[in-house]
C-alpha cells in the first residue's frame, strides 16, 4: 500500500493524542488550572492535528460531514463519530479542570474510553480489509491500542506503566511482523485464483493493460523501499521502544524524558511507514506484483 | 445507504469469454468514450501526451501467459471491470453512503455528489475495479452503462453496455444472471463459467468463461519421417561433410 504521509502523520499523532486523552480522562494525572490547560492543549493539538492531516488525502474534504452517516456498516464512519464524541466529552471534562478545578470523574472515564474507541475504530479500518492479508489480524487493533496508551503514558510521564507498555508493544510488533510476513501466501489468493486460469497451468503477467501507471498501481502496489524493510524494522524497535525504555529507567530528568518522547515518535513514524509500505494488496496480483 | 440490500432476483452483469477475446482493447476505448461524455464526472487523463501519461479507466484488458505442465504456453487476454458483487465489500466500507448496490437489479454505483474521495472502497475491492479520478476527486467505477441499458431514447440494439456493443469478437455478453433461463446463465452453465478470487467471498455476478483446450495438430504427412533433422553429432560421411562445409568461407561454425 502507498504510505501516504498524511495518513502516517494521522495514525502517529492522533494515536498519541488520544492515548494522552485516555490517561487524562482516567485520572492518571489530574492537573488543575493553567497546567491542565497545557496538558489538554498538547493532547488536542496531537489528536485534532492528526485528524486534520487525515483529511488531506480526501478528494472532497468539504463534504466530510457526510462521513458520519454510515455507522451501521462503515468503520471509517464509526471512527468519525467516536472522535467527535470523545473530543466533546473530554473538552467538557478539561473545562472542569481548567476553569473550575473540579474533576468530573465519570465524564472523564467516559471520554477516556471513547478516546480508546477512536483508536480501535481506526485500527478496524485496516483490520477489516480482506484484500490486505497482512492487516487482517487481531494484532492490528492490538498494536494500535498498545501504541496509543503506551505513547500516552510516556507523554504523561508515567514511567513504570510506559516502560511496561513499550516492552509489550515491542514484543507484539515483532510477533505481528513475523506472522504477517506469511499471511499473504496463507490467504490462498494468488495469480491462479485471481485469473481463474490455474487449471491450465502457471500464470504469468505478460502485458499490463497500459503503458504508463495508474491509480491502482500508485495506491496499492508499493514495492520501492521494501528492500530496506529489515533495517527499518530494527530502527523501529530501537527508536520506538528500546531507547525510550532505557531513557526512562535512567534517573529522571526532563531532558531525558523529552528525548524518550522524540525517539518514540520517530520510531512510531517509521513503524507506520512500514505498516503501509509492507502491506500487499491482492490487486497487485493482476499486475504480477505484490 | 451502504447496507447491502437483500439479494435481488435480478442480477445484471457481464459474461466475459476468455476464449474469444483477442485483446484489441476496443471495449476499453468505447467505455472511456461513453462514460466521459455521459453520466457523471468525466474520466480524466493526466499528462496524456507527455512522458508519463495516466488516466482513469473503468475497464482494462490485461494479458497473461499460462504455461501448462506439458505443451505450449497460451496467451490469454483478460478484460476486467467491476463484477457487481453480491457481497460487495466496497459498499459496506463507504462512510458516506455514496457507494450503494441497487436493490432492483444489483448494479453497484457511486453517488458522486456524496463521495468524499476517501478511497476506502477501492481498498476493499480485490479486483481493482474502482479508480479515484485524479481531477474530480471522486470514485469512478463501471456503471454497467446504467444510462444505456434502460435508455428508451436509444435504439433497442444499443441498450446494452458500451463494451458489449463494441466488442468485435463477441467476447462480452450482458444479461440477467439471476434468471437461470437467460442466455447468459445458459452460457455460463454450458461453458463452466467461473468467479474471480472466489476465496475473497465477494460473490461476483460477472462470470468468466475459460479458454477452450487448444487443438493438437495430428502428424499426418507421409514424407515427414524422411525429413528428420540431421543429427548434430553426425559421424562418418555426414560428419565429414558437416566439417568440410563448415570449413569453407562463410560456412557455419
Ligand atoms: S468488483 Fe470491486 S467495485 Fe465491483 S462490486 Fe465487487 S468489490 Fe465492489
Ligand atoms: S471514495 Fe467515495 S464512494 Fe468510496 S468509500 Fe469513500 S466516500 Fe464512499
pLDDT averaged over chain B?
91
The vertex-A280 CA angle with A278 and A286, nearest 5°, equals 145
Q: For chain B, which residues make up each domain, given as ranges?
A: 12-209
Give me the number of domains chain A comprises. 1
pLDDT value of residue B3: 84
Q: Quickly tell me which residue has 553426425 as its cell.
A: B234
Do residue B197 and residue A200 have CB atoms under 8 angstroms apart? no
Q: How far apart are CA B123 and CA A167, in angstroms?
A: 32
Task: Calculate the dihedral angle through the C-alpha atoms of A43, A46, A52, A54, rounding to the nearest 10 degrees.
Answer: -130
Do residue A200 and residue B68 have CB atoms under 8 angstroms apart? yes
- The binding-site residues of ligand 1, defined as CB within 6 angstroms of any ligand atom, are B 82-85, 88-90, 108, 125, 127, 129-130, 141, 202
Tens-digit pLDDT profile for residues A239-274 = 999 999 999 999 888 899 999 999 999 999 999 999
Which atom belonging to ligand 1 lies closest to the Cα atom of B142? Answer: 4
Which CATH code of 3.40.50.2000, 3.30.70.20, 3.40.50.150, 3.40.50.970 fits the domain covering B12-209? Answer: 3.30.70.20
> What residue numbers bound the domain in which A247 lies?
5-287
Between the CA of A255 and the centroid of ligand 1 the distance, in Å, is: 53
* CA count, 13 A, side-chain hemisphere, A138: 0
Q: How far is CA A104 from CA A92, A109, A114, in A?
A: 9, 9, 15
User: Which is nearest to A24 in space by CA: A88, A111, A150?
Assistant: A111
Task: Calculate the dihedral angle through the C-alpha atoms of B20, B21, B22, B23, rounding to the nearest 10 degrees.
Answer: -170
Q: Among B3, B93, B120, name the best residue to mutate to test ligand 2's pocket (greatest count of ligand atoms within 8 A of Cβ).
A: B120
Mean pLDDT across B136-140? 96
Q: Name the closest-CA residue to atom 6, ligand 1.
A: B85
3-state secondary structure at position B239:
helix
Tens-digit pLDDT profile for residues A15-37 = 999 999 999 999 999 999 999 99
pLDDT value of residue B253: 52
Q: Which residues of B touch A77 (CB under 8 A)?
A: 95-96
Which atom belonging to ligand 2 lies closest to the Cα atom of A74? Answer: 5
Residue B233: pLDDT band with limits 50, 70, 90 = low
Tens-digit pLDDT profile for residues A113-136 = 999 999 999 999 999 999 999 999
pLDDT value of residue B226: 72
Does A70 contact chain B (CB < 8 Å)? Answer: yes
How, if at all, do strands B108-110 and B172-176 pair? unpaired
Tens-digit pLDDT profile for residues A136-159 = 999 999 999 999 999 999 999 999
**Ligand nearest the Cα atom of residue B128:** 1
pLDDT value of residue A211: 84
Q: How far apart are CA B55 and CA B35, in angstroms?
A: 13
CATH of the domain at A65: 1.20.1630.10
Q: Say if residue B15 is exposed, middle or buried (CB neighbours under 10 Å; 0-12, 13-18, 19+).
A: buried
**Ligand nearest the Cα atom of residue A61:** 2
Q: How far apart are CA B13 and CA B151, in angstroms?
A: 17
Residue B143 has pLDDT above 70, yes or no: yes
Backbone phi, then psi, for B33, in 5-degree steps?
Answer: -60, -55
Does B92 contact chain A (CB < 8 Å)? Answer: yes
Yes or no: say if B82 and B130 are a contact pair by the CB < 8 Å rule.
yes
Amino acid at each position: 500500500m502507498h504510505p501516504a504521509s498524511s495518513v502516517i502523520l494521522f495514525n502517529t499523532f492522533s494515536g498519541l493524542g488520544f492515548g494522552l486523552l485516555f490517561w487524562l480522562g482516567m485520572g492518571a494525572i489530574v492537573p488543575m488550572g493553567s497546567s491542565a490547560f497545557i496538558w489538554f492543549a498538547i493532547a488536542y493539538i496531537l489528536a485534532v492535528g492528526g485528524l486534520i492531516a487525515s483529511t488531506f488525502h480526501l478528494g472532497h474534504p468539504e463534504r466530510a460531514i457526510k462521513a458520519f452517516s454510515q455507522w451501521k456498516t462503515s468503520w471509517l464512519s464509526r471512527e468519525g463519530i467516536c472522535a467527535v464524541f470523545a473530543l466533546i466529552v473530554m473538552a467538557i471534562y478539561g473545562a472542569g479542570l481548567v476553569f473550575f478545578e473540579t474533576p468530573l470523574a465519570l465524564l472523564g472515564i467516559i471520554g477516556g474510553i471513547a478516546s480508546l474507541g477512536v483508536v480501535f475504530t481506526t485500527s478496524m479500518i485496516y483490520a477489516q480489509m480482506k484484500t490486505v492479508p497482512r492487516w487482517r489480524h487481531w494484532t492490528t487493533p492490538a498494536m494500535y491500542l498498545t501504541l496509543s496508551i503506551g505513547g500516552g503514558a510516556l507523554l504523561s510521564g508515567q514511567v513504570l506503566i510506559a516502560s511496561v507498555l513499550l516492552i509489550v508493544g515491542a514484543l507484539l510488533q515483532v510477533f505481528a511482523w513475523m506472522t504477517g510476513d506469511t499471511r499473504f501466501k496463507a490467504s490462498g489468493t494468488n495469480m491462479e485464483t485471481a485469473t481463474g486460469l490455474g487449471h491450465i497451468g502457471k500464470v504469468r503477467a505478460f502485458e499490463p493493460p497500459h503503458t504508463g501507471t495508474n491509480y491502482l498501481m500508485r495506491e496499492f502496489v508499493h514495492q520501492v523501499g521494501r528492500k530496506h524493510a529489515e533495517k527499518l524494522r530494527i530502527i523501529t524497535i530501537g527508536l520506538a521502544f528500546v531507547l525510550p525504555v532505557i531513557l526512562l529507567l535512567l534517573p529522571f530528568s526532563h531532558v531525558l524524558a523529552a528525548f524518550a518522547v522524540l525517539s518514540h515518535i520517530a520510531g512510531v513514524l517509521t513503524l507506520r511507514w512500514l505498516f503501509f509500505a509492507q502491506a500487499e494488496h491482492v490487486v497487485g496480483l493482476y499486475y504480477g506484483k505484490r | 445507504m451502504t447496507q447491502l440490500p437483500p439479494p435481488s432476483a435480478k442480477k445484471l452483469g457481464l459474461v466475459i469469454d476468455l476464449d474469444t477475446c483477442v485483446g484489441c482493447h476496443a471495449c476499453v476505448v468505447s467505455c472511456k468514450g461513453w462514460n466521459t461524455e455521459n453520466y457523471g464526472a468525466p474520466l480524466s487523463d493526466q499528462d496524456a501526451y507527455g512522458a508519463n501519461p495516466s488516466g482513469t479507466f473503468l475497464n482494462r484488458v490485461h494479458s497473461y501467459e499460462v504455461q501448462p505442465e506439458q505443451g505450449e504456453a497460451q496467451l490469454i487476454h483478460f478484460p476486467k471491470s467491476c463484477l457487481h458483487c453480491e457481497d460487495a465489500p466496497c459498499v459496506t466500507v463507504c462512510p458516506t453512503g455514496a457507494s450503494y448496490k441497487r436493490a432492483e437489479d444489483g448494479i453497484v454505483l457511486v453517488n458522486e455528489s456524496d463521495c468524499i474521495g476517501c478511497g476506502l472502497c477501492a481498498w476493499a475491492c480485490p479486483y481493482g475495479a474502482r479508480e479515484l479520478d485524479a481531477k474530480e476527486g471522486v470514485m469512478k467505477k463501471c456503471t454497467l452503462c446504467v444510462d444505456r441499458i434502460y435508455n428508451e431514447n436509444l435504439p433497442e440494439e444499443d441498450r446494452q453496455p458500451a463494451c458489449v456493443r463494441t466488442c468485435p469478437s463477441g467476447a462480452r455478453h450482458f444479461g440477467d444472471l439471476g434468471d437461470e433461463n437467460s442466455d447468459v446463465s445458459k452460457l455460463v452453465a454450458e461453458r463452466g463459467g467461473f468467479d474471480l478470487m472466489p476465496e475473497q467471498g465477494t460473490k461476483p455476478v460477472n462470470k468468466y468463461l475459460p479458454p477452450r483446450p487448444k487443438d493438437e495438430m495430428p502428424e499426418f504427412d507421409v514424407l515427414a519421417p524422411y525429413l528428420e533433422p540431421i543429427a548434430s553429432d553426425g559421424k562418418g560421411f555426414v560428419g565429414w561433410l558437416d566439417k568440410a562445409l563448415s570449413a569453407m568461407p562463410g560456412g557455419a561454425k
